[in-house]
């Protein structure tokens, strides 16, 4: 199975387990994430979710061969990106969270990352743009100029720097992100679940208009790159394992 889940008291742990594919998200994986998060949303006995990958990688984003349609009715892209949630979800990040993997972390409420974690948005290096929320969520999560750097250079951000700027809540030693996230989840469970859900709903309501505009601008950007010669060149270069030869059109 590409996705497994486990209950520990009031906490649902969701694991992406495609390590041989760097936990890239294909249709099966998106459906697995969706099913697990539906359970979190719908089961009143579950108060907090923790989403993680394996001990060496969180997620390298979309599986370019089998993941271009990896979306669900309730969750949107990857089964999570457009999901309307009121229960807290904590990302536990080991290794790379690139492209859509970074966007999955941005869609969570809190992030715990080990010192091995690396975040990046490499889409521009392939003639693409980030399409799963990063164009507006990363500029809320990080300082504007740093967010722009990540979006237009593909630069990597390590866990310590991400923590310094407030995107990562806590940093752990390598291999300990899940344990750190569970500790955070247990702290959340000490609060009233009604208070927690009401708080998150109030925050989400204040961001609704920003999100609508963000998705509209994302769609506009996606339409522009789809019409470009650079996008096809970037994809060809990726699969042919060579540097792209950009035309700028």
* 17 annotated active-site: no
pLDDT > 70? residue 187:
yes
Query: Tokens for 8?
Result: 């520990």
Q: Does the pLDDT of residue 177 top 70, yes or no?
A: yes
**Set 103, 179, 209, 217: catalytic member:** 103
Average pLDDT of the residues of the chain: 96
Instruction: Kindly report, residue by residue over 120-166, the tens digit of the pLDDT.
Output: 999 999 999 999 999 999 999 999 999 999 999 999 999 999 999 99
How distant is the alpha carbon of residue 161 from its chain centre?
Answer: 18
pLDDT digit string (tens) for 42-59? Answer: 999 999 999 999 999 999
CB 14, CB 51: distance < 8 Å: yes
Q: What local confidence, expressed as pLDDT, does residue 238 receive?
A: 85
Q: Is the pLDDT of residue 192 over 80?
A: yes
Identify whether 123 is a catalytic site residue: yes
Exposure string of 150-184, with b = 16+ CB inside 10 Å and e = fewer, is bbeebeebbbeebbeeebbbbbbeeebbbebbbeb
* CA distance from start to end of the chain: 41
In the predicted structure, residue 65 carries a pLDDT above the cut 80:
no
**Distance from C-alpha of 248 to C-alpha of 230, rounded to nearest angstrom:** 6
Cβ within 8 Å of residue 35, ≥6 positions away: 3, 79
pLDDT at 67 over 70: no
Is the pLDDT confidence value at 205 over 70?
Answer: yes
Our CA angle for 133, 137, 141, nearest 5°, is 150
Instruction: Given the residues 28, 35, 94, 123, select the one marked as catalytic.
Output: 123
Domain boundaries, the chain: 3-176
Percentage of residues in the chain with pLDDT exceeding 70?
100
Instruction: Judge whether residue 119 has pLDDT over 90.
Output: yes
What is 3-176's CATH number?
Answer: 3.90.226.10
């Amino acid at each position: 199975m590409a996705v497994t889940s486990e209950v520990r008291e009031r906490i649902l742990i969701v694991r992406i387990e495609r390590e041989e594919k760097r936990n890239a998200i294909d249709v099966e994986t998106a459906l697995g994430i969706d099913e697990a998060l539906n359970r979190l949303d719908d089961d009143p006995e579950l108060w907090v979710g923790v989403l993680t990958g394996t001990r060496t990688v969180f997620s390298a984003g979309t599986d370019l061969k089998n993941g271009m349609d990896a979306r669900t009715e309730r969750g949107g892209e990857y089964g999570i990106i457009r999901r309307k949630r009121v229960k807290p979800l904590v990302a536990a990040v080991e290794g790379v969270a690139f492209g859509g993997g970074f966007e999955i972390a941005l869609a969570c409420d809190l992030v715990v990352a080990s010192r091995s974690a690396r975040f990046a948005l490499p889409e521009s290096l392939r003639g693409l743009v980030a399409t799963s929320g990063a164009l507006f969520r990363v500029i809320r999560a990080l300082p504007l100029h740093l967010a722009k750097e990540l979006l237009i250079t593909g630069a990597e951000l390590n866990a310590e720097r991400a923590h310094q700027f407030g995107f990562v809540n806590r940093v752990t030693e390598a291999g300990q992100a899940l344990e750190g996230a569970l500790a955070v989840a247990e702290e959340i469970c000490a609060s009233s679940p009604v208070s927690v859900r009401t708080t998150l709903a109030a925050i989400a309501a204040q961001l609704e208009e920003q999100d609508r505009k963000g998705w509209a601008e994302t769609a506009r950007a996606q339409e522009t790159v789809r019409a470009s010669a650079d996008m096809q060149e970037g994809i060809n270069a990726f699969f042919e394992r060579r540097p792209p030869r950009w035309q700028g059109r």
